[in-house]
């Protein structure tokens, strides 16, 4: 007996719908825009860090606040002069503004990690120690005792 009704089966797989593809792309784009951290601050002072032989790398950048000390860049000399200045974040600051800067950084860090916060001093090699001592005094008054001095690795002298 011959079957009158045959099921027609296609060997090809059904097409994938691409209707939701733009939504997925925009979700990924939005995710990366939110998660990506842009550079915190523009360097407004000249900082040529000195060379050192014994260096340790700071591992967790989120636990480090940077304090820059140096002479203003050429485009800021007209306003701020040529004396060494302190830069906290993206603006010039006075020594008495350091505790507020540290407090703002502390609010971004979980409370359990507050003891691990390090202040990294990026100081130009040509700056006198007077302004650096003032910064260190403010850090000590605030209770910020973990201080790091940024330096570059000394080039190998025995090469050549």
Q: What confidence score (pLDDT) does residue 160 get?
A: 45
Q: Which of residues 139 and 52 earns the better pLDDT score?
A: 139
Is 131 a residue whose pLDDT tops 90? Answer: yes
Whole-model pTM over 0.85: no
The full set of domain ranges for the chain reads 45-153
Q: Which residues contact 142 (CB under 8 A, 6 or more apart)?
A: 98, 99, 102
Taking residues 119-147, report their average pLDDT.
93
62 pLDDT band, cuts 50/70/90, is confident
Taking residues 133-149, report their average pLDDT.
94
Please tell us whether the domain made up of 45-153 is placed in CATH 1.10.10.10.
Answer: no
Q: What confidence score (pLDDT) does residue 15 get?
A: 78
The overall average pLDDT reported for the chain is 86
Q: What share of the chain is helix, strand, coil (3-state, %, to 5)?
A: 35, 20, 45
With a pLDDT cut of 70, the percent of the chain lying above it is 87
pLDDT in tens, 101-123: 999 999 999 999 999 999 999 99
Taking residues 46-68, report their average pLDDT.
88
Is 38 a residue whose pLDDT tops 70? Answer: no
Could you give the CA distance from residue 160 to residue 155 in angstroms, rounded to a whole number?
Answer: 12
């Amino acid at each position: 007996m011959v079957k009158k009704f045959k099921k027609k089966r296609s060997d090809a797989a059904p097409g994938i719908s691409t209707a939701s593809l733009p939504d997925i792309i925009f979700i990924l784009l939005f995710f990366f825009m939110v998660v990506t951290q842009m550079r915190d601050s523009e360097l407004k002072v000249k900082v040529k860090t000195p060379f050192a032989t014994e260096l340790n790398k700071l591992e967790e950048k989120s636990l480090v606040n940077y304090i820059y000390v140096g002479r203003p860049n050429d485009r800021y000399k007209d306003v701020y002069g040529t004396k060494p200045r302190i830069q906290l974040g993206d603006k010039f600051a006075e020594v008495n503004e350091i505790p507020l800067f540290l407090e703002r950084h502390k609010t971004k860090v979980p409370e359990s990690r507050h003891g691990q916060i390090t202040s990294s001093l990026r100081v130009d090699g040509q700056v006198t120690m007077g302004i650096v001592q003032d910064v260190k005094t403010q850090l000590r008054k605030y209770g910020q005792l973990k201080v790091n001095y940024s330096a570059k690795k000394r080039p190998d002298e025995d090469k050549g």
